[in-house]
Amino acid sequence: MSDQPPDALDHQGRRIGMIAVIQRNNRLLTIRRAASVRKPGKVCFPGGGLWRGEEEEAAVRREVKEELGLTVRPIACLDRSVSPWGTSLRWYLCQLVGRPYLELKTHEVAEVFWCHPETLLNHPDLLESNAPFLERWLRGEFREFVASLETGS
């Protein structure tokens, strides 16, 4: 899209991707990418690119709203990583705000579902950049952040 601002780049010149990690009842909100986007048919977390001059939390909110029609509140940046294709990723734990009502942007998202982390990690269509984060999630490395979200502290 030509009206979209340019992508933000990290200090090494890599595009920055914002990832929304939304948990409910021990399941993670998961999408299947539409046929018209990069990595079509892959299963992953919702998210997208950070625009130049945009705050990270604002980008997470924007991407989830654009793709799914949901409002989220970013809680904490859980992790930073680099994808196999060189995108710098920021993994944000998010909380759904208000009553969730899905409005899929079908040219970006083909399907949305809740998935147990173990099931997601072993999914044959998992986007490869998500596996290291899921492995850390399953080892309990982010437990304190998730617990504070569940208790409201």
Please indicate, yes or no, if residue 54 is contained in any of the structural domains.
yes
Per residue, the 3-state secondary structure of 32-82, as one string, reads EECCCCCCCCCEECCEEECECCCCHHHHHHHHHHHHHCCCEEEEEEEEEEE
Please indicate, yes or no, if residue 57 is contained in any of the structural domains.
yes
Tokens describing residue 140: 């309990």
We report the CATH number of the domain holding residue 126 as: 3.90.79.10
3-state secondary structure of 151: helix
Sign of CA dihedral 38, 35, 92, 21: negative
Please indicate, yes or no, if residue 59 is contained in any of the structural domains.
yes
pLDDT, position 1: 46
3-state secondary structure of 95: strand
Please indicate, yes or no, if residue 2 is contained in any of the structural domains.
no
Q: What is the mean pLDDT of each run of 10 residues along the chain (153 residues)?
A: 75 93 96 93 96 97 96 96 94 92 87 97 97 97 79 55
pLDDT, position 66: 94
pLDDT, position 19: 98
Please indicate, yes or no, if residue 5 is contained in any of the structural domains.
no
The C-alpha atoms of residue 30 and residue 41 are separated, in whole angstroms, by 12
What's the pTM? 0.91
Q: Would you state the torsion angle of the CA atoms of residues 137, 126, 27, 19, taken in this order, to the nearest 10 degrees? A: 70
pLDDT, position 57: 98
Please indicate, yes or no, if residue 132 is contained in any of the structural domains.
yes
CA angle 81, 85, 86 (to 5 degrees): 50
Q: For residue 137, give its domain range.
A: 16-151
φ/ψ of 58, rounded to 5, equals -65, -40
Please indicate, yes or no, if residue 10 is contained in any of the structural domains.
no
Please indicate, yes or no, if residue 36 is contained in any of the structural domains.
yes
3-state secondary structure of 112: strand
